[in-house]
Amino acid sequence: MTKSLAMLSKRGTDFLGCQYAIMGGAMSWVSEHNLVAAMGNAGAFGVIACGAMPPEMLAKEIDETRKLSSKPFGVNLIIMHPKLDELVKVCADKKVSHVVLAGGIPKNTTIQAIKDYGAKVICFAPSAIIGRKLVRLGADALVIEGSEAGGHIGPVSTSVLAQEILPQIKDVPVFVAGGIGRGEAIAGYLEMGAAGVQLGTRFVCATESIAHDKFKQLFIRSQARDATVSVQVDPDFPVIPVRAIANKATDAFMKYQVEVIGKFRSGVLDKKEAQLEIEHFWAGALRKAVMEGDVEHGSVMAGQSVGMVERVEPLQAIIDELVAQANSFLSMKQSA
């Protein structure tokens, strides 16, 4: 007998405290209080993208989210943030129920500090081995994100990660992310054993998203093949690949790498400074595109599911469509 969507996603909805086990990906400049609150009000689970925010800005974002919604939501923290401990304290002071730690393997002390104040910790696992390590460190749930996703990505596809990790890690909920744009895929991963899913690209063109209209219109015009991966020019300066819609910024990033590495070779910058300058390129380029609408010279980060984004519409309509597709898929299987 085919299980219903509610039954398949019960572990995820119980963990998140929402109606649908659909998490919002933490997209810098996009996943702020308007979109996060709208996700909660639509029955999903929004996540504030803290990114490079200072502690006082994060505190304000949390407060603004609660003005718009009484539903639970999470906060995504980058573990390389120089004020990570202060950001954790903000989450504790504001009683944020779920904290997502991104950007690598967090310290045990960071995980424990979050758990000590009563929140759930969610971590990203790029492999089963690292996933098991994170669970031992105290992670309450995992996200496995494939290379089809937008923004900073790993090298392995979502389908392969799901096949590798879902059968092996059963003791905590595992959410699948990367390239998911329709409800049929959500149902499929739930049937494979996922507790839920995480989507980002699909929500950029929500009415409630503050992304610039030019940013949204480029999403609507783009196809999966337009979301390409950035190129690393020097193996001595490894960069985490970034998936974005190809534009002039794509070429500019390669030129920028050459320029910064040249400064290192000439002694103007040490290696750490040069590495940081390269990594910081995307932060400024992303803001230029999302907030200012410069989609030629800014970074239009998008996953390969961008081809499934067809219009600007309310967040509730997007969630309703995904849920209807998932239910229809499961019903067809049951009647077959």
- Taking only the tens place, the pLDDT of each residue in 222-265 is 999 999 999 888 888 887 889 999 999 988 988 999 999 999 99
What mean pLDDT is predicted for residues 282-295? 92
pLDDT 10s digits, 103-136: 999 999 999 999 999 999 999 999 999 999 999 9
Domain ranges of the chain: 5-210+308-335, 223-301
Tokens linked to 193:
């054993």
**Structure-model confidence comparison of residues 32 and 270, the more confident one:** 32
Residue 1 has pLDDT above 70, yes or no: no
Q: What is the mean pLDDT of residues 18-22?
A: 98
Please write down the long-range contacts of 60-66, taking CB distance under 8 Å and 24 or more positions apart. 61/32, 61/33, 62/90, 62/91, 62/94, 62/96, 63/94, 64/33, 65/33, 65/36, 65/37, 65/40
CATH superfamily assigned to domain 5-210+308-335:
Aldolase class I (3.20.20.70)
Structure tokens at 33: 């209080």
Q: Give 96's pLDDT tier (boundaries 50, 70, 90).
A: very high
Neighbouring CB atoms inside 10 A of 8's CB total: 24
pLDDT digits (tens, 9 = 90+) for 44-79: 999 999 998 999 999 999 999 999 999 999 999 999
Per-residue pLDDT, 336: 65
